[in-house]
Amino acid sequence: MSLVSGRVLLTGATGGIGVAIARGFAARGAELILTGRRVEMLEPLAREVAGRALPADLSRREEVERLIREAGQIDVLVANAAVPASGDLLELSQDQIDRMLEVNLRAPIALAHGFAGGMIERRRGHMVFMSSLAGKSASAASSVYSATKFGLRGFALGAREDLRPHGIGVSLVLPGFIRDAGMFADARITLPRWVGTRTSEQVAAAVLRAVEQDRAEVEVAPVGLRLGASFAGAAPGLASTLSRRLGSEKIATDLAAGQRDKR
């Protein structure tokens, strides 16, 4: 049986991107376990995709441990959950920073650690981590968010090598600006004409492709943004200077302002 039609645990299922991912796997015959904090949205989605709702707050370590226990044996982990973590460093409280790190970085690592043993025993499994192009290129008002996404990228690429000898795949999906769902869409900011966007369905297709093809990374963004992120990794100082001249600082601060009440 194909992994995409196996038993799939999806975190962050109640967000717009999570819904698209759930529907994508359901269309391929997967048995879905959906988790998120908003029960009022989680249960209707579970009924729609004939899955199981398993509410959990990933900012609480005991909830992460409970999720691992109650989910049981899975074939695919899709670590999609995240909280808005944008904002100038000096605007953030330590409690906000701690929550961002718990949900966006620690929880995916803990879930991977918790499920890896069972996958290795069966020599069957795949893990997908939802990073971001912000995991390759940092900008103003995004220090903590980028820290979590850079960190998640490093973890996933390292874990891919650790688990490869056991027949377990690990992939990263790195969206850019997603126009119909997610944190950027929720902030309702206007981008310059030269900045392209993608859809939640394209992110879902990237997740499925990552599992089926065992891709290390799949970027979901126009070619210009993808090249810009790669350039920033090679020459961060120069890339930051060019990015500021193109208006990235305003985009970043507008995004942070739009997410302020959701930290």
DSSP, residue by residue, 62-118: HHHHHHHHHH-S-SEEEE-------S-GGGS-HHHHHHHHIIIIIHHHHHHHHHHHH
Please say if 122 is a catalytic residue. no
Find the domain containing 74 and state its range. Answer: 3-262
What pLDDT digit, counting tens, does each position of 108-137 carry? 999 999 999 999 999 999 999 999 999 998
d(CA 53, CA 32): 9
180: domain CATH number? 3.40.50.720
Q: Tokens 């109640």 correspond to what residue?
A: 14
**pTM of the entire predicted model:** 0.92
Q: Collapsing DSSP states into helix, strand and coil, what is residue 195? A: coil
**CA 177/CA 197 separation, integer angstroms:** 5
Rounded Cα distance between 111 and 130, Å, is 13
Give how far the C-alpha of residue 129 lies from the chain's centroid of Cα atoms, to the nearest Å.
5
Average pLDDT, the chain: 92
Catalytic residue among 25, 115, 129, 145: 145
Query: pLDDT tens for residues 136-160?
Result: 988 888 899 999 999 999 999 999 9
- What is the token pair recorded at 70? 């109650």
The single residue listed with the structure tokens 């690990």 is 170
Question: What pLDDT does 186 receive?
Answer: 74
Q: Average pLDDT of each block of 10 consecutive residues along the chain (263 residues)?
A: 95 96 98 96 97 98 98 98 88 95 98 98 98 90 92 98 98 94 73 84 98 98 91 84 70 68 65
3-state secondary structure of 33: strand
Report the alpha-carbon distance of residue 242 to residue 240 in Å, rounded: 5
CA distance 95 to 190: 30
Domain count, the chain: 1
